[in-house]
Amino acid sequence: MTSMRDRTYYRVNSRDPCHSKPDNGNILLMPTQQDAQSQAYADAATCGARVFLCHIYEQGRRNHLAFSLPFNLLLEMAKLQSADRKRHKSNADELINRPLIHQHVDEITKYLLETENYILPPFIFNASTPIKVFAFGAGVVKFGYAILPTNVELYVTDGQHRLKAIEKAIAQKSELQDDSVTVLVVQENDIDRIHQDFADCAKNKPIPPALLAAFDVSNLLSKLTRQISRDIVIFNGRIDKISKTLGKDPNYIFTMNQLRIGIAEFLFGSSRKQVIESRSNQQNGEEVILLEKAKLFYMEFAKINDAWKLLLQPASQTINLDLYSLRQQRINFNTVGLQIISRVGHPIFFGKDFSEAERNILIESLASLDYRRTAPLWQNSVVIDDGDGNKRIVAQIAAVDKACKIALGEVEEKTGIKLR
């Protein structure tokens, strides 16, 4: 029988000198999985090291190691070297991590505690000393057994806030310690290259608000916004679910994020961030009721409002409807108008216990207001004269608050019904 010493193996990084690259670790390719496993455990036994399964692949002229680690091992092995905002102002570039943002840690902790089907992206660690790996396989992605000594230093390049959040969340929810996460280890000892790795990770573009509203169904407000955009004919096919702004596009009435702002006004009476955050997870059990109230409100408003009546036909049947022109003419085809309509709708459906007849009268009065951009009702609140005779829409919070009070007062005066 051939002994282990007689087995043939070679370094993955041994290449033609003309195509050489840095030696990124002691990665040894074995003939079979059994050879790799046996050699790894034999080596580890001599120094009290641990053996971890991993995948090895090449990216950017360096070999990377991908592990799956349970949270308890993650917390045990990961090391932070975070800059301090006060002590390291002049030498932050000598440390691996940016200053820790405690608010961000708290946000992730809250997410882990409140989200049953949470998901965390992979961590990126740096190992300044080579990690010996006994690998096998002929493909570009190989499988291997990595030997990690007890004193191995794995510094977090990307994921320090997630790491601290996991630590905090486990203290409050012990069952989380049975979960695991993917860890990518980059073997690098050049501090400038480590910093560049962090900067490169940060170049991923954040999810635009429109897409976040479209995809984030763990959040009640986003989930209801998505359902409303599909279920109500006036919005279905007329909500831009990708763009940040509509520009001159004639086919859409709002972006997904603009619709989300309007729905927040209707459900919570405000679209301020702190109100949304405090309220959007408090009513998960009432999702069906909230959805039905929103459908009823916007549909009844559209049946009465002269301009929104045009939206009662499916988008496929109104291909010649120029919504861009309507946005230039009317505030209720702009975000501020949707906010005004929706905020007044809030007390109609969530305030006093109105009868159906009273509610219908209130909606009719709200829908009958003059929403033309030139209407005196909105001047010097959400509409101002720019000095050249043009009526410009103002979207600042104070302006919207002022216009909402005006609309509320008009509805109360017309109906004789108090909403406040």
Tokens of 216: 């984030």
> Which pLDDT value is given to residue 125?
87
The dihedral through the CA atoms of 255, 259, 264, 265 has a sign that is positive
- What pLDDT score was predicted for residue 402? 96
Q: What is the largest CA-CA distance in the chain?
A: 99
Task: Output the CA angle 231-236-239, nearest 5 degrees.
Answer: 125
pLDDT digits (tens, 9 = 90+) for 120-178: 999 988 887 778 999 999 889 999 999 988 777 788 888 888 999 999 999 999 999 89
Identify the pLDDT of residue 191.
52
Sequence-separated contacts (24+) of 358-365 with Cβ below 8 Å? 358/415, 358/417, 360/300, 361/415, 361/417, 362/411, 362/415, 362/417, 362/419, 363/297, 363/300, 363/301, 363/304, 364/304, 365/410, 365/411, 365/414, 365/415
Q: How far apart, in whole angstroms, are the C-alpha atoms of residue 112 and residue 13?
A: 40
Residue 250: count of CB within 10 angstroms of its CB: 14
- The beta-strand segments (E) located in 225-382 are 239-240, 254-255
Q: HSE (CB half, 13 Å, CA atoms) of 145?
A: 18
Nearest partner of 332 among 292, 368, 384, judged by Cα: 368
- What is the β-pairing status of strands 78-79 and 239-240? unpaired
Q: What is the pLDDT of residues 380-407, one digit of tens each?
A: 999 998 877 788 999 999 999 999 999 9
Please list the rounded mean pLDDT of every run of 10 residues in the chain (420 residues). 44 39 66 94 90 91 89 86 43 49 89 90 84 91 91 81 93 93 81 55 59 68 89 93 87 93 94 81 74 96 96 92 94 96 96 93 97 94 86 92 96 94
Q: Which residues lie below 8 Å from residue 416, measured CB to CB, with a gap of 6+?
A: none
Q: Which pTM was predicted?
A: 0.62
